[in-house]
Amino acid sequence: MTQSTNQSQKPLTCKTNSFGNLEIGGCDLVDLAQKYSTPLYVIDENTLRSICKDYKHAFEKYPKTKMMYASKALSNCAVTKILDDEGFGFDTVSSGEIYTVYKTGVDMSKVLFNGNNKSFDELDMAIDLGVGRISVDNFFELALLNVIAQSKDKIVDVLLRITPGIECHTHEYIQTGHLDSKFGFDLTQIDEAVDLILNEYKNIKLHGLHAHVGSQIFETSIFSDEIEILVKEIVRLDEKFGIKLDEINIGGGLGVKYVDTDCPASVYDAAQVIITKLDEMIKKYDIEPPILFLEPGRSIISPAGVTLYTIGSTKQVPHGKKYVSVDGGMADNPRPSMYQAEYFAQIANKKETNIKEKVTIAGRFCESGDVLIKELELPELEQGDILCVYNTGAYNYSMASNYNRVPKPAMVLVNNSRSDLIVRRESLDDLVSHDIIPDRLK
């Protein structure tokens, strides 16, 4: 199996320095915690760029591949700028993600707008900003999109998102390709949608089909099944309607290594399966090679990120667990409470003892379920120690909340011994800045 960055629990630049502290990107994590306070999201630029290059190299044998970073994993202007520099387009699912990409200065023709309930205002904005593709999810959206495009006298380029009927072995909340899903047209509805586009919706141009099969995927064979379904549909639609579709979007979903027991396939292994199957289908049906869109998100950004916390109180349950609390938790990382997600962590500051104990890392929020990591083996902890939780680049900041009215953490980018603030820590004034007391209550 070829090694690639998504198979590592830690950023590529993570090491122990001469002071005995962990460092990433040449920056001492203890120093970062002191300078920026905690909780703190840290993104390693070297790892992020290396993963982007892995994807490009892995798929270079199929030159008609277009990489589209799934912005939902982590969206901010600095990360967007790096991905744009590395030649990626962007899969967006909201006006906020579209606007972030736009404000970063990205060529909007490289952007795709996805989602199951896009609003009038969002579609209107996407058309005005020149988003390259809109992935249409349902009949309501198809009709709405044509009305908006017609009012602007524009032709909108679209893909049809379909539900391929494939079920991957992942958490039920992150399965998107099985038949009973809120996403996409059922296979039995495709013909009606295509007929509407060809004969009624004159301001919509269909280029291809789009599907997702889930997230945190370890078994690459599922991508082979997906490609077979998509190509067969393209061939069938050509035979029935005489329409030449030349794009397929297979989504993303490649898994990463959160804990030792996780065994994700490498980007290179996934690419071999995908390209081999696509070449097979092209030869079998004698079709022109379609443009292949990929939408990696988690596997791009997750290994590049860590979160730093400061150790606070401890509680030893008699004849039970030892709880160690940190200054963050489910508001800055809701995944353990939502998905029962697992993480690996280490103490970032010097710990000379080899004596270890099993502890449960508890969050600071007022929920019994606010537990970040269960039964983690660490050196004996003291108040003020810095905990580094790995693989938190994806779906941590992007899913963060102000639960318990706690400000969201800051985020820094590290590289070559330099740290740069890329998301400011929210202040208490930020928390109340949108609150309004009606005059009648004054």
Residue 41, strand partner residues: 307, 411
Q: How far apart are CA 154 and CA 149, in angstroms?
A: 5
In the numeric block, which tokens belong to residue 342?
């697992």
Just list the catalytic residues. Answer: 366
Q: What one-character-per-residue DSSP string does 62-78 give?
A: STTEEEEEEGGG---HH
- N-term to C-term CA, the chain: 67
The H or E element spanning position 194 is helix 190-199
Helix axes 267-285, 221-241, angle to 10 degrees: 30
- Nearest Cα to Cα of residue 385 among 312, 314, 282, 442: 312
- Nearest Cα to Cα of residue 328 among 227, 205, 411: 411
Q: Which amino acid, one-letter code, is at 8?
A: S
In the numeric block, which tokens belong to residue 17?
């320095």
Q: What one-character-per-residue DSSP string does 3-16 give?
A: --GGG-SS-TT-EE
CB 119 within 8 A of CB 99: no
Q: What one-character-per-residue DSSP string does 275-330 give?
A: HHHHHHHHHHHT-PPPEEEE---HHHHGGGEEEEEEEEEEEE-TTS-EEEEES--T
Q: Which amino acid, one-letter code, is at 215?
A: S
In the numeric block, which tokens belong to residue 403?
């639960």
CB 303 within 8 A of CB 393: yes
Cβ-based burial of 1 (10 A; exposed 0-12, middle 13-18, buried ≥19): exposed
